[in-house]
Structure 1
């Protein structure tokens, strides 16, 4: 299953509804197979329950099993496909992904590596490129041959700011350009998810090759702006594409691949930086830039051969812009969605493909009708009255860009709460301070290891690059740990809740170690400082690093997903750009110890806002995430404060009772249930009720044998 479920959406669907849908879109599948596929999804709960009992009692299942729903009898091959899909564990699901699905994942991996390598290239080249382009940031570069004879008049403070601008401009540009062009490239130009990633890859390739060949700082700035557009495009679309094409039980794992291979790109780029610096110390920065084109070329060679997102194709079937017959275009896009599902599943019979296509279509109609309640009048034409409660035979409609912006900013509801959740977790990635190491690693270690020495020799430069390589390696290896926790119950929020306090403690330890060093730091101080930084990177890589993009890719409704993810990346890149610009000045003003203490505080603030605004996702289908976002923001604040108060007072009450009271029952205040359960009880007390899951599930027909 590609992240869709059938607990209640297909209740009430009739055989005639299915036939009408089939005839409308002239799908390339036998009609009887299509009907059996939809019926199987309608009765998934009862069929899956029976299959799981068979799996426990009979090692040869489903051999000899018969399946009949009404008058429809399923073939042996169809039963086998359904059985395998609904009884596999996570590892079996990953092993049995189709060939084209694996190709798509590999293409997304190369996109992530490109993202990380681009950042590593600038981190390694930053100091030397500024010096060679006539913008030195230290006095050591003034004595280099070929420098301006007026070198002593150079304003080093200005150049320090220009260094920050050079490092930060891709993020400022990406924040703005990604928000403006990502949605139009995918929708208006009809490039789709794959096409948008391809355009982003082209931008990245041109920018790094151009950066390696420039001779003026202004030209470097121009190519860095182009790089920003490419980075924002990949960061906005790749996680969405992975989330929309992944089976539900491994969705978190595959989404972690984005952050995992961004970390690998940083690691590989750092190794490349060290290697080329040893080959040619004078022009090494040019080779650092050009090496980053390798993963971009691999990305471009694969992405257009990968399947498109079926969800995107179905959503676009409601578009009414452009010339030609709208009905024919709608039919063509629905058929393409069917073929994309066929490629992704790669099964011998399309029984599940048929059911999933119909189910996805139904869920999209339901989603749009929920949004219409938040913003009445967003659809061009309302459904006929007799179809008001039957999304099975309705048509998908298009929601304008303006309406989607209104939903995210100005209308209370799940879409705005999704925006707040994504903004919180993305901004927190910058508040934690990890990008001080990712963007300006060379400068960072110069301050700590060599105590801001202005005379860094070639050997010392290699030590700086080697330190960066080691930390990026820790980043990559530690991110692997997130694969084992991200899809567990409350996995996303659990990782976030552990990550920020651990990062704060690590930075505090690092700052305290540095406080014992007044002049040149001793080997013990450097070792202690570096150890705490390793612990900091580990805490980030297991928690906030992967969780930020996983949560952001999941929380938005499908009709608003490109714009929502682009906006989430906007907040992330805006924070990264500001951090890159102000970091050199912060170091000069506060010193490295002061900067570390500052980020101890920002980590604690990030912990609070994520605890408050980020819902737990991962245990539900993509289309069901809205249920976690129904809890009002004000109620969430009260809930968060009550929960934190109980946690803080738990040790106090335990000590007052001298350990006689169990730790679980300690803590002042009422022990709270889940956020959603408490909110539903709050609504019931105030006389505002809503259908429960049990009510929704009424009417589910059992399988007939």
Structure 2
């Protein structure tokens, strides 16, 4: 990889820039194991169980909506550093919580870090990556989330024998410290530096990240020119401009769609659902662990094959909807037809969950964040990402809070069928509304959207 005089390498920038996503995955995923054992020490009603799980989602809303505007003013790296501190404090407090109220409070604080990272990691990666690799680089966000989730599953399984939910949570302290220390060694993004008047630093960063110095110079000129145009005509970059409002609506809808396909019914509650089908806690957590390993392999193949950059964003999103809906229909129908403790039901549920999670990990997991990081104009990119991410977390909150209650009322089968049907409804909207953004620079995409040229196929980097 190319290296500048400051020692910055693309590999280190991408790895450390996406490290917060590992914490996102770990702290988001570990609750599925911990929630099996927390009631042994802290009594939980179904509503309190949903509150403990969804407290991070409420925190994520606050972290997401607050981080974007701050990042536009202070830079992407500083906000990611703040996320590392928040993750560390939250994990420490939650792991030592003496009662449910304290646990909920520090789960909320962990959520602040998750919300910040959900906005900042894809934004940081997209702004660091060249146009021809932006899809695969930004997909590292989801890859790291999956790794974090898999580590959480392995930790939950390993500590299940001791029923040690506190250590499951406390382990999140160590990567939080690593995130803070690591981010001290990498720069902010060139676009953020230009936006804040540091063009010389932006040039140094681009030169270190691009193999071709001339290409780096042209990219900097394009960024500076676009920033100059926006400085002369701020009205066109405000959120009230019609073309920007259209992008905001699209981003918010896509963020909602990712959640109403039911992903977090499985991320948060798969072990709980499986124990309801007659297997032990340890068996349910073993499945979560093994499925996490399969997820890592799946997204590694997708990243290596550069599917997002080669096939495009829209085809991948549509394919994901098919896989996710079919798998939810299968487990939903089986849960209604078969006896609750039937071995056949457990087998179908395991197969369906594997298909669902791997479909999501290869498609909607990474590609949503790729698209969101691409479609918004530079002047408000952080704030716009925050708005879209807020809608994502609002929907996640509804799903995570209500799943235990809905399941107790109508059964898991009906709930899974409902989320499968949501995927069917989303398919034609994505087909019609989502523009293809592959292989174009962020600056050319902004010009393209400003002109209202959505119907023209996107191609090239000009």
Q: TM-score, normalised by structure 1?
A: 0.61
- Distance, in Å, in 2 between the alignment partners of 1:631 and 1:602 is 33
**Deviations, residues 656-698 of structure 1 (Å, cap 9, x unaligned):** xxxxxxxxxxxxxxxxxx96149xxxxxxxxxxxxxx9xxx9x
1:198 aligns with 2:81: yes
Q: Residue in 2 aligned with 1:486?
A: 308
Q: Residue in 1 aligned with 2:219?
A: 356
- Distance, in Å, in 2 between the alignment partners of 1:627 and 1:589 is 50
Q: Residue in 2 aligned with 1:306?
A: 186
Give the C-alpha shift of residue 540 in structure 1: 1.4
Q: Residue in 2 aligned with 1:344?
A: 209
Runs of at least 5 residues in structure 2 that lack an aligned partner in the other structure: none
Shift in CA distance, 114/449, structure 1 to aligned 2, threshold 3 Å: same
Match of 1:297 among 164, 177, 181: 177
Match of 1:128 among 13, 37, 45: 37
- Distance, in Å, in 1 between the alignment partners of 2:3 and 2:433 is 34
- Distance, in Å, in 1 between the alignment partners of 2:296 and 2:394 is 24
Give the C-alpha shift of residue 312 in structure 1: 0.5
Q: Residue in 2 aligned with 1:112?
A: 21
**Deviations, residues 228-279 of structure 1 (Å, cap 9, x unaligned):** 111111111111111111111111111111001101110011101111222x
Shift in CA distance, 432/303, structure 1 to aligned 2, threshold 3 Å: same
1:165 aligns with 2:45: no
- Any conservation in 2 of the 1:482–1:542 contact (CA below 8 Å)? yes
Total equivalences in the alignment: 454
- Any conservation in 2 of the 1:504–1:603 contact (CA below 8 Å)? yes
Give the C-alpha shift of residue 595 in structure 1: 0.9
Shift in CA distance, 354/532, structure 1 to aligned 2, threshold 3 Å: closer
- Distance, in Å, in 1 between the alignment partners of 2:176 and 2:298 is 25
- Distance, in Å, in 2 between the alignment partners of 1:512 and 1:195 is 48
Q: Residue in 2 aligned with 1:685?
A: none
Match of 2:154 among 252, 267, 271: 271
SS in 1 for 2:310: coil
- Any conservation in 1 of the 2:68–2:385 contact (CA below 8 Å)? no
Match of 1:226 among 100, 105, 109: 109
Give the C-alpha shift of residue 436 in structure 1: 0.9
- Distance, in Å, in 1 between the alignment partners of 2:102 and 2:419 is 33
- Any conservation in 2 of the 1:421–1:615 contact (CA below 8 Å)? no
SS in 2 for 1:440: helix
1:252 aligns with 2:135: yes
Give the C-alpha shift of residue 615 in structure 1: 1.5
Shift in CA distance, 178/514, structure 1 to aligned 2, threshold 3 Å: closer
Match of 1:533 among 350, 353, 356: 353
Q: Residue in 2 aligned with 1:287?
A: 167
Give the C-alpha shift of residue 201 in structure 1: 0.9
Greater Cα offset, 202-211 or 524-533: 524-533
- Distance, in Å, in 2 between the alignment partners of 1:316 and 1:111 is 24
Q: Residue in 2 aligned with 1:175?
A: 61
Q: Equivalent residues in 2 for 1:600-611 (5 A)?
A: 600-611=420-431
Give the C-alpha shift of residue 577 in structure 1: 1.1
Give the C-alpha shift of residue 126 in structure 1: 1.3
1:211 aligns with 2:41: no
Greater Cα offset, 506-515 or 595-604: 506-515
Shift in CA distance, 604/247, structure 1 to aligned 2, threshold 3 Å: same
Match of 2:253 among 420, 424, 436: 424
SS in 1 for 2:435: coil
Give the C-alpha shift of residue 300 in structure 1: 1.4
- Any conservation in 2 of the 1:202–1:296 contact (CA below 8 Å)? yes
- Any conservation in 1 of the 2:67–2:79 contact (CA below 8 Å)? no
- Distance, in Å, in 2 between the alignment partners of 1:449 and 1:417 is 48
**Deviations, residues 298-350 of structure 1 (Å, cap 9, x unaligned):** 21121121021111111112xxxxxxxxxxxxxxx222222322333477xx5
- Distance, in Å, in 1 between the alignment partners of 2:333 and 2:204 is 59
Give the C-alpha shift of residue 447 in structure 1: 2.3
Shift in CA distance, 215/598, structure 1 to aligned 2, threshold 3 Å: same
Shift in CA distance, 353/411, structure 1 to aligned 2, threshold 3 Å: closer
SS in 1 for 2:184: helix
- Distance, in Å, in 2 between the alignment partners of 1:628 and 1:263 is 33
- Distance, in Å, in 1 between the alignment partners of 2:448 and 2:276 is 45
1:411 aligns with 2:291: no
Give the C-alpha shift of residue 123 in structure 1: 1.5
Q: Residue in 1 aligned with 2:265?
A: 436
Higher relative contact order (CA 8 A, sep 6+): 2
Give the C-alpha shift of residue 353 in structure 1: 4.1
Q: Equivalent residues in 2 for 1:121-160 (5 A)?
A: 121-133=30-42, 135-136=43-44, 159-160=45-46
Q: Equivalent residues in 2 for 1:448-467 (5 A)?
A: 448-450=277-279, 460-467=280-287
- Any conservation in 1 of the 2:122–2:141 contact (CA below 8 Å)? yes
Q: Residue in 2 aligned with 1:638?
A: none
Q: TM-score, normalised by structure 2?
A: 0.92
Greater Cα offset, 303-312 or 353-362: 353-362
- Distance, in Å, in 2 between the alignment partners of 1:614 and 1:273 is 38
Larger helix fraction of residues: 2
Give the C-alpha shift of residue 122 in structure 1: 1.4
- Distance, in Å, in 2 between the alignment partners of 1:531 and 1:187 is 43
Runs of at least 5 residues in structure 1 that lack an aligned partner in the other structure: 1-94, 137-158, 318-332, 376-403, 451-459, 633-673, 679-692, 698-705
Match of 2:11 among 102, 120, 131: 102
